[in-house]
Amino acid sequence: METNQYLDVFIDESKEHLQGINDSLLQLEKDPTDLTHIEVIFRAAHTIKGMSATMGYDDLANLTHQMENVLDQIRNKVLHVTQQVLDVLFTSVDLMEAMVDDISSGGNGKKDVSAAVAELTDIELGKTSTKGQSVRKAENASANIQDSYSELALDSFTQTVIDQSFEQGFDAYHIIVYLSPHCLLKAARAFMVFELMEKKGDIVYSAPNVENIEKEDFDDHFQLVLITKDSKAEIEAVILKVSEIAGVDLAPMQRTMDASEEEDVKGAESVVEMPPEDVHKQVVSSKEASVDTPKAASKTIRVNIAKLDHLMNLFEELVVGRGRLEQISKELGNDDLNDSVERMVRTSQDLQSMILTMRMVPVDQVFNRFPRMVRQLAKDLGKQVQLDIVGAETELDRTVIDEIGDPLVHLIRNALDHGIETPEVRVQRGKTPVGHLTLSAYHSGNHVFIDIKEDGAGIAKEKVLAKAIERGLVTSDQADQLEEQQVFELTMAPGFSTAEKISDVSGRGVGLDVVKNTIESLGGHISITSELNKGTTFSVQLPLTLSIISVMLTKIADETYAIPLSSIVETAIIRRDQVMRAHQQEVIDFRGKVVPLVFLGRVFNVEGMDEQGSHLSVLIVRKGDKMAGIVVDELIGQQEVVLKSLGNYLTSIFAISGATILGDGKVSLIVDCNSLIKS
């Protein structure tokens, strides 16, 4: 079978499923009793197994198959989730990721998985109990059926139905049916049993569920709960009449509610007051309804990012042409032409919104790799770390998403290695033994900010300065003049490190220059704030590289500047006598808050700016919780423009993020308001 044409799909889907497995394993580790995560992991592993077998990647298929066996035992409550089981599953996922990465890089996906398969097999066979783990194999399932019953995942409604059946004089049985090892049509045998049982009473629960039984997605046995008036012997005899049934375990169920739950059921009874037959019909009908209801399938296609880039470039040219057409239309004043242009503008705006949406992806695509990484690193370093992720839904352009992963990995490794202390040290310093690492993303103006914040040891300024002087980065006199932020930025000098011992995880300073360079190459910026024994925050500012933005066009003398609307809070015309001075800075009172004024003409040395008029045109802009009032000569109006970079020769122009071509053919610079506020 020729499979190359499906390779991209295989790689993309495998990575998605592996990420899902990773996420669910982390959730399962937090709550080993929540088996819904096992179902997710099992389905993902099952899909990967099928795809890899079809594509001819046998090692991947074999490993996934054995992993699936272990997962099947867990979801059927034959096996308990222990730390050892989780570790082996995590190791298996690592191997699977390595094989998929190898395939993605053009390799054959082959890897020695024998050790992992052997460990999984030992777990499946219950041999891991010698290691002190509580792995339990259901070799004598009949003897343990009462235990299985106590572990049945019955929802409150089903439990209420069972309890009511007792009051109506019915019995409820927990039944485990074992199929012959040579059974060829497992689903057919299972439904024969179901058909016979439905003649005896009402089935209110089955494990696996009906959908998985139809797919034969179960091992050699299945469970059900039957409400009936027949005796245990009669039911057992009926089931054993079905061919290829190896055995059956059957136990009467007991009322399991305690006194407090009794009260809850009384409340439920007032709502659900019907004989068990009717109740069962309702259960069955609701199940049928859920089966019959078609699932809202997500209809998507995968598009090469290069095609989207090309589409974007074409649209940028269209926007420039649209601006030119609008200008001509205004100059000519022809009504028909105006109407046509307005219609074209509306249509192209919708098209623009669509294209932008297609390129934007949530930053979660990068963040989702970190929980697993933090878990493993914390384990390796003997630290306790809680990772909190905030704003994972924040969207960034796909090209930026692809580039920021490695810098963030380095910053997180750095935070764990040198920022967060060991539990013993934290306790000595009066902190909780568990360190907190927060990864947050948010929009601000025309940028996205990603903060990596930890509550660790903080950066010792004196240590940084001493090292900087020793390395000749600054003189003693210069060191005295440096502000706190400038001191911290010294840690991003090439090869700079204050670490007494360089580990293989990271070194504060070692590699931060690479992180800084990478972020700046994206047009971004990184800043550091730190407080000794309180923690450190790395703040990464990234541009939305999507090149079409809405701006407010302004005029200073004869020059036109564009200010992104996303940064503007409000525009205002203020009287000259409303301007005050504070700390040698011109300020205004904006809704009870003192806001400093930035005269744009002074910043860019524009000659001819009108600063003596009786009124000032001010744009109030915001960066986080900081605000500033940008003073210009004239506010022209809003417009959508194409953001073009200034090229490699003009990479460090202060407070300018790019340029655009206006409708009259003139070039306008686009102001970076965040830089103005920072200054």
Mind telling me the catalytic residues?
46, 68, 414
Tokens of 458: 């903080």
180-186: which pairs have CB atoms within 8 A and are 24 or more residues apart?
A: 180/244, 180/245, 180/246, 181/220, 181/246, 182/244, 183/220, 183/244, 184/244, 186/216, 186/218
Tokens of 279: 């109740």
**Four-point Cα dihedral 644, 650, 654, 658, nearest 10:** 0
Class of residue 530 by CB neighbours under 10 A (exposed 0-12, middle 13-18, buried 19+): buried
In angstroms, how far is the first alpha carbon of the chain from the final one?
63
State how far the Cα of 595 lies from the Cα of 519, in Å rounded to an integer. Answer: 30
State how far the Cα of 646 lies from the Cα of 643, in Å rounded to an integer. Answer: 10
Tokens of 444: 């601000």
State how far the Cα of 48 lies from the Cα of 53, in Å rounded to an integer. Answer: 8
CA distances from 35 to 21, 77, 124, 210, 233 (A): 13, 9, 17, 17, 32
State how far the Cα of 175 lies from the Cα of 152, in Å rounded to an integer. Answer: 11
Please check whether residue 307 is in contact with residue 358, taking contact to mean a CB–CB distance below 8 angstroms: no
Q: Which helix (H) or strand (E) holds 204?
A: strand 201-207
Tokens of 176: 């485990």
**Total number of residues shown for the chain:** 679
The amino acid present at 174, given as its one-letter code, is: H
Class of residue 614 by CB neighbours under 10 A (exposed 0-12, middle 13-18, buried 19+): exposed
Count other C-beta atoms under 10 Å from residue 343's C-beta.
10
Phi, psi of 66 (to 5 degrees): -70, -35
State how far the Cα of 615 lies from the Cα of 350, in Å rounded to an integer. Answer: 38
Please check whether residue 102 is in contact with residue 87, taking contact to mean a CB–CB distance below 8 angstroms: no
Using the structure block, give the residue that is written with the tokens 């493993």.
376
State how far the Cα of 594 lies from the Cα of 171, in Å rounded to an integer. Answer: 76
DSSP state of 421: P
Please check whether residue 93 is in contact with residue 18, taking contact to mean a CB–CB distance below 8 angstroms: yes
Q: With the C-alpha atoms ordered 592, 595, 600, 605, is the resulting torsion angle positive or negative?
A: positive
Nearest to 416 by CA among 402, 434, 432, 404: 434
Please check whether residue 438 is in contact with residue 367, taking contact to mean a CB–CB distance below 8 angstroms: no
Tokens of 377: 């690193």
Q: How far is C-alpha 442 from the geometric centre of its chain's CA atoms?
A: 14
Tokens of 640: 């959508």
CA distances from 344 to 116, 336, 352, 640 (A): 61, 12, 12, 14
Q: What is the DSSP string of 320-354?
A: HHHHHHHHHHHHH--HHHHHHHHHHHHHHHHHHHH
